[in-house]
């Protein structure tokens, strides 16, 4: 070892320590997600960890590169310096402790989204919502506990690095030839490690980690520092700023065909005028957007913990749709698509678009029909610019945390669900006493961390994750029970849908449970109870409500009336990939890395059929991609509001 330059031995030992620490975080991630692994073999688990070493080496290389250049130059002079050793140790300790923090943050992030840590986690930083998010994190004990392994890993790294530097030998000159050869070899290996692979066409990508059909193990090999950096670079790429799957003309033609628009308006390509086919009804409309209420949490969705007895009873006694899917993975996605029946597009945040666009959505259209309009939330109305967007889109009154008694505000997410429902009752009474019908949307929040289960509610399960779902369902029951006592109940249409679901299944790289939502239209005196198996979307709420009201209107959206029209596919967006499905096939595509999978999801078949049925995949891709592109086109050209209808 004395004949090997010190910068080589030090760098090698640091790589070993860092790989060991990253592997420890990877083991923790695996142990906390064993229920997501499913059927596998020891060899597949080993493959995931071997793949993890590759991604760890990439991460280490990018962080250690400049310090190692300095170490290489300093060692050339052959003089040992304790001051330099201390500076080198502390600089690396600070840098790598930050990466350990990202590894720790990745664990709860993965639990929530079934996706490794990426730039989406920081979207609120630059939008004025960071204080709200930090408070929410601070109130969640599990997030705070994740600081302990970060500090522990940082101490372990400092201890061993300090020891290595302190005991390092070989600082004396080893000869120019040997020094030069060692430098070339070391930097050649570091460079190859940073690229992650020898192929000259492309460095290592996220898709390199996907070695089999096990979605959990495919992601296990990734290093969250790599996925964060990669997602940041992708977000900065100008090619990713706009949706461009095909020409606008081709996309418009496909959407018109899929929406069965026979005589399109020349200026507004997806607008279709819907005539009333019977006497118009002035029913009140209340839409409850349920936080995180995945269909998989219900007994209808196969859950055996009896978490949602009331919601399950509603699904049996209403016009309900068992195959409804939300358009995205975040609450703003659910609010946007429910209100305006437009899809979300990758990481674009439509509620925060400047200027705020006006759409022909449910609130704006009902307002034109003489309705009073309101929106209720448990917490801050400004988060995600919800208030600004809804005010521009037909909502006259917003009730939020500022309106509730301070004593009832329990967490950053504001008041518990049942308090919001109780608080709303006299407001509904007031609105019902006027001569105009009313529309209201209510956004619940309890089934989202930080969890707060009121003392007066007694849950059957011991785990707070199940208790909070029980409480959310109980709150819905209390809401309907209170409403049933009101004179306006029989004349009110209640709609229940999730903003998004939860990552409860992990059969594929996109958890379907994160998009699969209950969809219930409840009006016992006027709607026949039917459980419908048709493919449905969150975007279909607005047209279906208008159909139930039998009101003529302009449908300038991507939604359809589920009682009269059929939807061939549902499509939904993750942050960097999307899914499309019908009753047989699930297509998953990650355009940035050209990863496409086609699966028979009903049987949970993990075989990729893309090579056997390319025409099926291509049709599904075009159906969804044309819709996203036309949505982007409509927004850019400001055609989301049908001006001729003014």
Question: Model confidence over 262-276: pLDDT tens digits?
Answer: 999 989 999 999 998
pLDDT, average across residues 115-141: 68
Mean pLDDT on 364-391: 93
Give yes or no for residue 637 having a pLDDT over 60. yes
Name the pLDDT band for 8 (thresholds 50, 70, 90).
confident
Report the 10 Å Cβ neighbour count for 249.
Answer: 10
pLDDT of residue 126: 52
In the prediction, which pLDDT does 486 show? 97
List, for residues 24-37, the tens digit of each pLDDT value. 999 999 999 998 89
Please write the tens of the pLDDT for every residue from 130-149. 666 666 666 766 667 778 89
Strand ranges (E), 538-582: 553-555, 570-573, 578-581
Measured distance CA(502)–CA(448) in Å, rounded: 10
Tokens 């490690």 map to which residue?
193
Enumerate residues 6+ apart whose C-beta is below 8 A from 78.
171, 172, 173
pTM as predicted: 0.82
Tokens 């969890």, residue? 451
What the block records as the tokens of 330 is 């975040």
Across 181-207, average pLDDT: 79
Q: Which residue has the tokens 């958890």?
A: 511
Average pLDDT, the chain: 90
Cα distances (Å, whole numbers) of residue 577 to 207, 594, 596, 623 = 12, 10, 10, 15
Question: Which run of H or E residues covers position 176?
Answer: helix 176-195
What are the backbone dihedrals phi and psi of residue 226, each rounded to the nearest 5 degrees, phi first? Answer: -70, -45
Cα angle 456-462-464, degrees, rounded to a multiple of 5? 70
pLDDT of residue 238: 54
- Determine the pLDDT at residue 131: 66
Query: At 113, is the pLDDT very low, low, confident or very high (cuts 50, 70, 90)?
Result: confident
The H or E element that residue 516 is part of is: strand 516-522
Indicate left, alpha or beta for 207 from its phi (over 0: left) and psi (-120 to 50: alpha). Answer: alpha
Residue with tokens 């048709």: 534
Nearest in space to 36 (alpha carbons), one of 111, 105, 108: 111
CA neighbor of 442 nearest in space, from 514, 367, 373, 359: 373
Q: What pLDDT is attached to residue 354?
A: 67
Mean pLDDT of 528-546: 97
The stretch 6-22 carries a mean pLDDT of 92
Token pair in block for residue 444: 């619940």
**What are the structural domains of the chain?**
6-236 (no CATH), 282-565 (3.40.720.10)
**Residue corresponding to tokens 């990669």:** 230
């Amino acid at each position: 070892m004395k004949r090997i330059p010190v910068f080589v031995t030090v760098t090698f030992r640091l790589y070993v320590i860092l790989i060991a620490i990253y592997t420890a975080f990877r083991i923790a991630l695996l142990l906390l997600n064993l229920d997501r692994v499913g059927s596998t073999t020891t060899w597949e688990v080993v493959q995931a960890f071997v793949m993890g070493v590759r991604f760890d080496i990439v991460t280490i290389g990018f962080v250690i590169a400049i310090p190692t250049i300095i170490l290489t130059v300093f060692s050339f002079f052959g003089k040992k310096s304790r001051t330099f050793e201390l500076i080198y140790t502390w600089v690396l300790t600070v840098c790598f402790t930050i990466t350990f923090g990202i590894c720790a943050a990745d664990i709860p992030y993965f639990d929530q989204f079934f996706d490794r840590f990426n730039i989406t986690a920081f979207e609120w930083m630059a939008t004025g919502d960071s204080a709200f998010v930090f408070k929410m994190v601070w109130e969640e004990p599990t997030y705070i506990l994740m600081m302990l392994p970060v500090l522990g890993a940082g101490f372990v790294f400092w201890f061993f690095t300090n020891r290595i530097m302190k005991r390092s030998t070989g600082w004396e000159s080893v000869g120019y030839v040997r020094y030069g050869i060692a430098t070339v070899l070391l930097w050649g290996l570091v460079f190859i490690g940073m690229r992650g692979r020898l192929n000259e066409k492309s460095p290592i990508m996220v898709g390199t980690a996907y070695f089999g059909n096990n979605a959990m193990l495919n992601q296990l090999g990734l290093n969250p520092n790599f996925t964060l950096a990669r997602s940041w670079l992708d977000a900065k790429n100008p090619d990713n700023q706009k949706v461009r799957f095909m020409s606008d003309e081709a996309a418009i033609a496909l959407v018109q065909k899929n929406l069965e628009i026979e005589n399109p308006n020349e200026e507004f390509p997806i607008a279709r005028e819907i005539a009333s086919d019977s006497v118009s009804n002035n029913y009140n409309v209340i839409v409850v957007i349920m936080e995180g209420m995945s269909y998989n949490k219900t007994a209808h969705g196969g859950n055996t913990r009896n978490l949602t007895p009331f919601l399950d009873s509603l699904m049996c006694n209403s016009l309900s749709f068992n195959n409804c899917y939300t358009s995205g993975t975040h609450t703003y996605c659910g609010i946007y698509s429910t209100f305006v029946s437009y899809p979300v597009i990758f990481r674009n945040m439509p509620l925060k678009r400047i200027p705020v666009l006006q759409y022909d959505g449910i609130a704006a259209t009902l307002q034109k029909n003489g309705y009073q309009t309101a929106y209720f939330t448990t917490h801050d109305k400004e988060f995600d610019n919800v208030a600004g967007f809804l005010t521009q889109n037909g909502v006259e009154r917003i009730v939020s945390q500022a309106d509730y008694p301070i004593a009832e505000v329990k967490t950053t997410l504001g008041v518990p669900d049942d308090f919001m429902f109780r608080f709303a009752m006299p407001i509904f009474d007031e609105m019902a006493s006027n001569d105009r019908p009313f529309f209201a949307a209510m956004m619940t929040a309890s089934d989202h961390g930080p969890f707060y289960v009121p003392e007066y509610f007694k849950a059957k399960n011991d785990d707070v994750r199940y208790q909070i779902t029980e409480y959310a369902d109980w709150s819905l029951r209390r809401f309907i029970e209170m409403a049933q006592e009101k004179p306006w109940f029989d004349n009110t249409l209640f709609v229940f849908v999730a903003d998004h679901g939860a990552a409860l299944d992990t059969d594929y790289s996109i958890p379907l449970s994160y998009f699969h939502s209950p969809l219930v239209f409840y009006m016992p005196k006027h709607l026949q109870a039917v459980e419908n198996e048709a493919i449905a979307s969150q975007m279909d709420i607005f047209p279906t409500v208008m159909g139930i009201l039998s009101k003529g209107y302009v449908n300038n959206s991507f939604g359809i009336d589920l009682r009269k029209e059929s939807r061939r596919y549902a499509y939904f967006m993750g942050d960097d990939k999307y899914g499309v499905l019908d009753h047989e096939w699930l297509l998953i595509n990650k355009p940035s890395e050209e990863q496409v999978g086609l699966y028979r999801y009903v049987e949970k078949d993990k075989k990729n059929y893309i090579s056997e049925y390319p025409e099926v995949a291509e049709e599904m891709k075009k159906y969804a991609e044309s819709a996203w592109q036309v949505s982007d086109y409509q927004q850019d050209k400001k055609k989301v509001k049908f001006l001729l209808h003014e």
